[in-house]
Each structure stands twice: as structure tokens, then as C-alpha cells.
A = this chain, B = another copy of it.
Amino acid sequence: MKDKRVTIDDVAAAAGVSRQTVSRAINDLPGISIATRERILTTAQQLGYRPSGIARGLANAGQRTRTFGVVVPTIDNEFYAAVLHGIKDLTSARDYHVFLVDTNEDPATEYRRIQSLFSLWIDGLIICSSRMEDQQLAEICSQLRPVILLNREFIHPHAGNVLIDDAEGTESAVRHLVECGHKRIGMILGMPVSRSSENRRQGYLRAMHQAGLPVEPGWMLHTGAQLDAAYTAGKPYLQAHPELTALVVYNDVRAAGLLRACAELGIAVPGRLSLASHDNITLASLVTPSLTTVDIPKYEMGRRGAVMMLDMLTDRRLQPETIRLTPRLVERESTATPNAKGAPIQ
């Protein structure tokens, strides 16, 4: 800290060569004999020389700082933690570093923090479940390449996509409930700004339509991201809609909140009310009853995104792709045939 930093010039002087030759040795570039390369690397080692990423970034005008940003709505949700985990392994192996941005589910914060990241000359950006408008995404893509969008479709020559078919996932959940014999099925949605929530809503409506089942507007409810929020909002909702025998829930966290509400209201799950949710995070299999849920390949999503990003960074001519991953319904205890008489709950 206090003792002067070791620079490339120090190494050059110690090895009796020019700065450029040291650079060649360090970066494994041609135009240097094997003997001198060895010698330079040894003295660099001895001096404890560590090339400055900052100076490198400046020198090549921000072409590569070996850093990129990863943006998630909230690190608190295991879903995003799993995505991050998929990104991390690749990153660590290739010696990149990631700036983590948590937007608190707020589009304005998302935009502001990403803009702020740009001053650090990041090489690329992975945005998970972006809540921003298309226009803002376009602006960001115009300033940077590549930008990889996870769980959010956006077409742009700089933007790659890793998507899961949200509508299809929800449809499969609704179909499952219909096959169980349910006719009055409600839906708990996510935040209004969430695209996934909207897509899943579309899937719900489509599946209900195809099954020839009616949907009341009051059967759909938006809730906050936290378990408590779903619990709080869910309680009056459940009381107001005793006619429902099944619910499709936006994600497992909210389903857990509803489970608690059901327990307090004396609504048996799946006896009186069946619950099917999305994500398949750890708690889905741990709560009682365990949750029937649409599994999203979270780790895979992160991993594929990171692969695309690093590939595009390695070969700048590479074009971004659109990868579609398929969700898969996992049947557990929270769904069952409605009670014999088909009687409304309560």
C-alpha cells in the first residue's frame, strides 16, 4: 500500500529490456525470443509485478477491461442467485470480473446504475429480467456491445437473448389443473413492470380460453416480490374469492406466502385449493405441501448468457443469438383433484 507500486518500467529496468518487450512477454505476444520471455517473467514474478487493469483499459481506449456488468432485480430472490451462479463459473475460469448491480426491481434505478457503470468502461452487460422500456434498452445497446438479455426479449444487433417460454410454462400449469378437474382457476401475478408476469398472464388467459373456461377480472392479483407482500395481499383475495378451487402463482416465493395465508384461513391445500407456481427454487420442495411448479432452468440461463457474452468478447465479429430454453412442470403435493362435490372453498 505505502510502498510504491511495481510498474512495467520497473520490470523493464530490472530485466534490462524495454517496456514494450516486457509487454510482449506478459501478454504472450510474438516478436520475442523464448529465453528473454522466460527471464522477464521470472523477474516480474520476483518483483511482484501485477499489470494494471486500469492502465490497460485506458491504453487501448476501453476495448477490453476484462470486466462486465450483471444486473438483477434483487439478489434476495434465489432465482437470481441461481442465475448469477451460472454466470460466475465461466467468469472465474476466464479471469473476468463482474460488477453486480441490484436494481431493487425499479426501472429508474436500473437505468441510472447501468449508465453509471458505463463510466467504468465495462466490456459488456448481462441484464436479467430487465424492467426497462424498449427505448431505454435500445439506448443502452447503442452504447455497448454485447448486451445479453436474460428472460427478456429484445431484438437489436448488439443484443443477445436467453429466453424461457413463460406463456407455455403457465399454459402447462393450467392444463395440469384442468386435467385435475378444476374449472375456476385464479392467478397471482408479479409486479406490473415484470415482463415474465405479463407473459405468464397471457399464457394463463390462453390456456383458460382453450379449455373453454371463464376468467373473471377479479381473479387476477398483482403482489409485491417479497413473501410477506404475497401473504398480506393474498389473505383478503382468498376470502373474497371462495369460488376458486385452484390458483396459478407467478413464483414460488409468492406461493409460499399464499400457503401461509391459507394455513391461517384454514384453507386446506390441496384439499380445498390447489396451487401451481413457477421457478422451482429450493423452498418449493421444502414447504408443506411441496409445490407443484414450473421449473425454470436458472443456472443454465446464466451459464448460456455468460458463454454468449464471453464468446462475443473473444471474437467481436460474432453475431448475438437468441436462445430459447424450455420450462418443465414439476408435479408435487400442492395440486390435486378438487374435492368430490366440486364445492366452493369454505
Contacts and interface: CB of A to CB of B under 8 A. Distances in A.
Contact of A97 (B76, B99, B288): B99
B50 A54 contact: no
30 contacts: A1-B144, A1-B158, A5-B62, A50-B115, A50-B118, A50-B119, A51-B119, A52-B58, A52-B119, A53-B121, A54-B121, A55-B58, A67-B120, A74-B85, A75-B84, A76-B78, A78-B78, A92-B109, A92-B113, A95-B116, A97-B99, A97-B116, A97-B117, A98-B100, A227-B282, A282-B283, A283-B286, A286-B286, A287-B287, A287-B288
Contacts of A118: 50
Contacts of A50: 115, 118-119
Contacts of A224: none
Nearest to A144: B1
Interface in A100-155: 100-102, 104, 109, 113, 115-121, 142-145
A1 B256 CA distance: 45
A85 B92 contact: no
Contacts of A97: 99, 101, 116-117, 120
A101 B158 CA distance: 27
A176 interface: no
Interface in A148-181: 158
A88 interface: yes
A270 interface: no
